[in-house]
Structure 1
Amino acid sequence: MPAPETQNLLQQALAHHQQGRLPEAAALYQQVLQRSPREPDALHLFGVLMHQSGQHETGRQLVEAAVQISPERPEFHSNLGQILKALGKPQEAEAAYRQALAKAPGFVDALANLGALLQERGAVAEAIGFLQQAIRKEPGHANAHMNLGNAFRKDGRIEEAEAAHRQAASLAPISEETHANLATTLMDRDKLKEAERSLKRALLLNPALAEAANSFGFLLFNLRDYTPSGTWFKRAILLAPCYAAAHTGLAELAYFSGNIEQAIQHSEDALRFAPDDPQIHLRHAIRLLAAGRLEEGWLEREWRHKMPDRVRRIGLPPVWRGEPLAGKRLLVCAEEGVGDEILYASILPEVTQQGAELVIECDERLLPVFRRSFPDALVHAYARAGDGFRPVQKYDWLPKDKPVDYAIDAGSLALYFRRTLSDFAKTRPYLKPNPERILQVQNMLGQTGDRLKVALAWRSRKSSAFRDVHYTALKDWLPLFALPEVQVFSIQYGENWDTEIKTLERETGHAPTVLPDLDLTDDFDDILALVSSVDVLICPSSTLGWIGGALGKETWLFHPQPLFVQYGTDGFPGFPSIKSFAKPFEDGWEQTVSEITATLRSKAAK
């Protein structure tokens, strides 16, 4: 124990420290150390103060000295971990936190700090375990709730993230960080107005919080208020020049304004500061592909395998990396979206031309279509276990009599077969619809008269503030429905589309025709039969567009510019039957709908 006078000085210093009077606290800590240079509490607390003042290296030296003197103190190890983390030494920080827990297994601060570090490093499941343990020990630990929300969010468990962040904000109402983190999760849940209120609280509490400024930029971006959005991203960078997320925000703005080269520059800046962030790499891949830089883009897209919610595949043969395929058996694993499965199936005929025997994995809904289209392949529907946040697929179904030599995800085939634009010229229509189902649908269409027949989808399956900018509303198509020489049939899929149609018909007297007894969400034989039977398919950039292209059907695809699958061209390489009706990102859909309507009127006249 220090002498009474020294102990009194230390208590005074700690009181100043706790009240935020750092210069006064620092002066008293120095007095203590002049009297007792090996006083561990003074070394430790002065080191923490130096760290809080931004002098992390000095703080590290002081706290390490305290640890040398009193290695049994768990709080010393835990705070050393915080300083090492700030110094960009995550492995050493993790070791310090674990050392704290070795001294005191239930030490809540160390549990919370280790959980936060692990979720940032991608060990999300382990992080959640430590954070939940901290909360069980101390239910009112606001930082543990906040970090648990961050871990849930990173794991894709958005509802649980929101609950944890709300609890953190309730426990620490004057903490800017809790409100900023809550706002981010509210944005994920499309609760934009509530997110705006949380961000304003965070910025009121700390106008210099770079994370809040960056989130405000993305909030305004989602609200389509683009110029102020850029101002907030730039403010975040001024506050924290190495903040990768804010550079990514500028990249998004540049991309959607059509300046792809500038977008690439901004995303390269982001990657300098966060070289291991798979999401930033994936967005960078889209920009490179949109610029026509195919090889670079496909390589960057391989970072999707490192996303935390990526399917974990158990029991796969070795990954195919371009070895000769003659006489070999290749498993092509399904991508995680049915649209991508259909898109990258365009490459499969070229794989078989190299002498490979294919085993194709697909969504169960595609099973009859793929078996009909690729009759020489073994086609198997995947069974996905786990949940949407940690999906797992096992491959114990692979044939044993003739083992599979290699495996590759369908999208990764582009690395080897789509290196240049000329490679797309090899693509031919490759999906085969059910002939009997086509006859049934044609009979239905024949009963509606001899007008030009058009299938229309006006949006995608999912809706959110960010996604909806890519899609129209049904009412936008009233000029098309009014054309007497055109019969419009709905090919919309998903939920609530029937309510949209009934509402529009009641309010305007116009609406697309719905064919009875067709399942246009889950029955791909029905979908392919309708697309095959109409004169024109009109749709956004979605699964339907690739179906139209895969059938060689005249497809008019409306979309904002740029669209990365055009690979820097005005069309859709590999899919000559798809025609682009593009608009600037910031414009409405009126001009595009007017152009499509006029083109249809001309086509009907011919």
Structure 2
Amino acid sequence: MPTQETQNLLQQALAHHQQGRLPEAAALYQQVLQRAPRDPDALHLFGVLMHQGGQHETGRQLVEAALKIASGRADFLSNLGQILKALGEPEEAETAYRNALSKSPGFVDALANLGALLQERGAVAEAIGFLQQAIRKEPSHANAHMNLGNAFRKDGRVEDAEVAHRQAVSLAPLSEETHANLATTLMDLDKLEEAERALKRSQLLKPALAEAVNSFGFLLFNQRHYVKPGTWFRRAILLAPGYAAPETGLAELAYFSGDLEQSLRHSENALRLAPDEPQIHLRHAIRLLAAGHLEEGWREREWRHKAPDRVRRLGLPPTWQGEPLGGKRLLVCAEEGVGDEILYASILPEIRELGAELVLECDERLLPVFRRSFPDALVHAYARAGDGFRPVQKYDWLPQDKPVDYAIDAGSLALYFRRTLADFAKTRPYLKPDPQRVIQVRDILNKTGDGLKIALAWRSRKSTAFRDVHYTALKDWLPIFALPGAQVFSIQYGENWDTEIETLKRETGHGPTILPELDLTDDFDDILALVSSVDVLICPSSTLGWIGGALGKETWLFHPRPLFVQYGADGFPGFPSIKSFAKPFEESWEQTIYQIATALRSKAAK
């Protein structure tokens, strides 16, 4: 039994330990163990100290020795879980946490630690449950709030993550981790200035925190710096050699610089370090496709089905995996974006040639277009429930008179039908506009006068600091608005585009013409009719580009390079009517727009 003297020594050691004086605490723990070698508290605390100092295996041995003496201690089991996690043994760590909870079901540290581990392992819903339980029992538990924020973020619930991370910061303002995690969520919300302040606070508290160093690299990257972030990513790797995130950062930098070979090397490094992370696989897929490695790229893209915010599909028939389709009924499920639905619809005619009867699911706005373009198919709008974080689609609408044999997501068709560049040669224009609406729109355009008629979109619907590198500002297009013999019509969609046009016209006297008779956001018959009626469509890599290509209409697509949908080619395989106007990511749009204006001047003159 320990004497009063050894108990006093243990209390002194614990005080040093809690105040961060680890060498002094270690010396006193050793003195206690010399006098009482089987003191479980001394073994446990010394083991935790060794783990905190990076000697995880020694820490494990000490805590396991303590558990042999006091096997019912939930705190020992929870801390053993932390050590096992640091040793790269997540399954054993999970067992330790669950054992701790079996001894003490309400033990908050074990609830919080288990929730954090489950979140990292992809069991996000279960993680959220444990973390919320921990917070109900101890509302001031900062780590539980922080890990709950991480779980919400991984589940796509970024606004909820921000609330949880702000709560963690308020509870633990001197914790470098709470500030670093808040910064990551703020970056997701495009609140870059506030994210930068949070990261600077984190670095003041602990300059060597690898997560904060890595996040600072991504912050600079989002601010369109393409050299400086590399220093931060490499520093993060030195601080934490087993950390996958900075390898993905270096992969992105190499990709944006056009070095696809280097990008793939870093991407493969990240996958070796985090082989089960869907987002790393999905970014790797983009790089593979951009480099022309089609079959491997499509396989990697299948990881989108494991993303936490994926659409959950209830009531589907078996997945089609290349079986013969003659006489079979195949359901092609809608991808999450309208642009992807249109892009991958290019493959549908080839499926019909194999003798399959098609059932198509699509966005409700595409119903008239798809029914007209694929008249032999049964076309149905998807029924989506849930929310943007956990969308759910049900398939109780599928016909029962002749059941559907197989189902496949539209984007997964490429794995079977687009394995080489030669496969794209089979693509023909496949969308059909409403002929009556085309006549009406052409009448509208004819009333505006003669000359080359141009439809222009300058950006996509959603604007963020990171996405906007792919898009232009309306004022960038001033060189084409005064071209002699040409008229420019807005085909921009989304929100606030009309305000942008009014502002530009007020400031410069120039801008595209708005066609108030057309709904160019939600009415795809109007959109297809306008694209069919103009002489040329100019747009970024967006839904409009695939509409132009699907109609076989002359489309001038401006974009940074590399762009993965070129699949390593100079043009756009499968879409010969789309002409590429590309620039390096780090350059401005000025030269590209000058080239487009020059080409338009020549076209108008003819």
Q: Give the superposition deviation at 1:517.
A: 2.2
Partner of 1:45: 45
Partner of 1:115: 115
Partner of 2:528: 528
Give matches, 1:569-588, under 5 Å. 569-588=569-588
- Does structure 1 conserve the Cα–Cα contact (< 8 Å) formed by 2:13 and 2:28? yes
Partner of 2:197: 197
Partner of 1:242: 242
Q: Residue 193 of structure 1 aligns to which amino acid in structure 2?
A: E
Superposed CA offset, 1:49-92 (max 9, x none): 11101111111111112122212211111111111111111111
Q: Once structures 1 and 2 are overlaid, which stretch shifts more, 131-140 or 256-265?
A: 131-140
Partner of 1:295: 295
Q: Residue 390 of structure 1 aligns to which amino acid in structure 2?
A: R
Superposed CA offset, 1:461-504 (max 9, x none): 00000000100000000110011211000000000001001101
Partner of 2:553: 553
Partner of 2:147: 147
Give matches, 1:1-80, under 5 Å. 2-80=2-80
Q: Distance in 1 between matches of 2:434 and 2:2?
A: 87
Partner of 2:81: 81
Superposed CA offset, 1:267-293 (max 9, x none): 011111011111011111111101111
TM-score (norm 2): 0.99
Partner of 1:425: 425
Flag structure 1 segments of 5+ consecutive residues without an equivalent: none
Q: Give the superposition deviation at 1:3.
A: 2.0
- Residue 465 of structure 1 aligns to a residue whose secondary structure is coil
Partner of 1:391: 391
Q: Distance in 2 between matches of 1:174 and 1:332?
A: 52
Q: Residue 595 of structure 1 aligns to which amino acid in structure 2?
A: Q
- Residue 204 of structure 2 aligns to a residue whose secondary structure is helix
Partner of 2:517: 517
Partner of 1:281: 281
Q: Residue 543 of structure 1 aligns to which amino acid in structure 2?
A: T
Aligned length: 606
Q: Distance in 2 between matches of 1:79 and 1:241?
A: 24
- Residue 466 of structure 2 aligns to a residue whose secondary structure is helix
Superposed CA offset, 1:97-139 (max 9, x none): 1111111111111111111111111111111111111111111
Q: Residue 22 of structure 2 aligns to which amino acid in structure 1?
A: L
Residue 100 (str. 1) matches residue 100 (str. 2): yes
- Residue 479 of structure 1 aligns to a residue whose secondary structure is helix
Q: Give the superposition deviation at 1:2.
A: 2.9
Residue 135 (str. 1) matches residue 135 (str. 2): yes
Q: Distance in 2 between matches of 1:449 and 1:428?
A: 33
- Residue 360 of structure 1 aligns to a residue whose secondary structure is strand
Partner of 2:593: 593
Partner of 2:181: 181
Partner of 2:563: 563
Superposed CA offset, 1:391-442 (max 9, x none): 1111111111111111111111101100000000000000011011111101
- Does structure 1 conserve the Cα–Cα contact (< 8 Å) formed by 2:484 and 2:601? no
Q: Once structures 1 and 2 are overlaid, which stretch shifts more, 455-464 or 164-173?
A: 164-173
Q: Distance in 2 between matches of 1:35 and 1:411?
A: 68
Superposed CA offset, 1:149-201 (max 9, x none): 10111111111111111111111111111111111111111111111111111
Q: Distance in 1 between matches of 2:470 and 2:596?
A: 16
Partner of 2:457: 457
The runs of 4+ residues in structure 1 deviating greater than 6 Å are: none
Q: Residue 401 of structure 2 aligns to which amino acid in structure 1?
A: D
Q: Once structures 1 and 2 are overlaid, which stretch shifts more, 7-16 or 467-476?
A: 7-16
- Residue 376 of structure 1 aligns to a residue whose secondary structure is coil
Flag structure 2 segments of 5+ consecutive residues without an equivalent: none
Partner of 1:272: 272
Partner of 1:324: 324
CA RMSD of aligned residues (A): 0.9
Q: Distance in 1 between matches of 2:89 and 2:241?
A: 19
Q: Distance in 2 between matches of 1:460 and 1:446?
A: 28
Partner of 1:603: 603
Q: Residue 114 of structure 1 aligns to which amino acid in structure 2?
A: L
- Residue 462 of structure 1 aligns to a residue whose secondary structure is coil
Give matches, 1:321-400, under 5 Å. 321-400=321-400
Q: Residue 139 of structure 1 aligns to which amino acid in structure 2?
A: P
Superposed CA offset, 1:216-258 (max 9, x none): 0010011112211111111111111221110100000000111
Q: Residue 525 of structure 1 aligns to which amino acid in structure 2?
A: D
Superposed CA offset, 1:329-376 (max 9, x none): 111111111100000000000011111111111111111100110010
Q: Distance in 2 between matches of 1:544 and 1:329?
A: 30
Q: Residue 509 of structure 1 aligns to which amino acid in structure 2?
A: G
Q: Residue 148 of structure 1 aligns to which amino acid in structure 2?
A: L
Partner of 2:260: 260
Q: Distance in 1 between matches of 2:25 and 2:584?
A: 57
Q: Distance in 1 between matches of 2:63 and 2:313?
A: 44
Q: Distance in 1 between matches of 2:210 and 2:135?
A: 27
- Residue 516 of structure 1 aligns to a residue whose secondary structure is coil
Give matches, 1:403-418, under 5 Å. 403-418=403-418
Superposed CA offset, 1:518-547 (max 9, x none): 111111001000000000000000000000
Q: Distance in 2 between matches of 1:223 and 1:40?
A: 52
Q: Give the superposition deviation at 1:298.
A: 0.5
Q: Distance in 1 between matches of 2:520 and 2:2?
A: 78
Q: Residue 143 of structure 2 aligns to which amino acid in structure 1?
A: N
Q: Residue 321 of structure 1 aligns to which amino acid in structure 2?
A: Q
Q: Distance in 1 between matches of 2:404 and 2:130?
A: 40
Give matches, 1:485-504, under 5 Å. 485-504=485-504
Superposed CA offset, 1:6-52 (max 9, x none): 21111111111111111221122122222222211111111111110
Q: Distance in 1 between matches of 2:63 and 2:337?
A: 50
- Residue 408 of structure 2 aligns to a residue whose secondary structure is strand
Partner of 1:216: 216
Q: Once structures 1 and 2 are overlaid, which stretch shifts more, 546-555 or 67-76?
A: 67-76
- Residue 470 of structure 2 aligns to a residue whose secondary structure is coil
Q: Once structures 1 and 2 are overlaid, which stretch shifts more, 64-73 or 472-481?
A: 64-73
- Residue 308 of structure 2 aligns to a residue whose secondary structure is coil
Superposed CA offset, 1:531-576 (max 9, x none): 0000000000000000000000000000001000001111000000
Q: Distance in 2 between matches of 1:74 and 1:240?
A: 30
